[in-house]
Structure 1
Amino acid sequence: MEYIAGETLANGGILSEYEALHYMEPMGKALALAHQNRLLHRDVRLQDIMVRDDSV
């Protein structure tokens, strides 16, 4: 597994509505792509979502 310099969404504190929406679209696209490739993640939670230092 690659190292990601940054933090999880769980470590970032409470998200504003704008911030939450900012992360939801790419997370949804990533999960859709995983599902299209027959991969299933059964435990998606804030601790599993990394935000790189460059905000990607």
Structure 2
Amino acid sequence: MKIFNILCAMFIVLLSVLAGTASQRLPRPGRLEFNRLKRDANANTLDRMVKRD
């Protein structure tokens, strides 16, 4: 269930970035960097969860 919640959150972030790109309103670079760091943290969490199983 946790993996499903994480995937949903990542999908929502992706949709919001795509919506911003489509409307030509790119997020500020700082925000983009924050999203990248958050995505890396999520990937690390997923890796740990998969290895633990």
- TM class by shorter-chain length? 0.3 to 0.5
Q: Which protein is richer in helix relative to its size?
A: 2
Larger Rg: 2
TM, length-normalised to structure 1: 0.41
TM, length-normalised to structure 2: 0.42
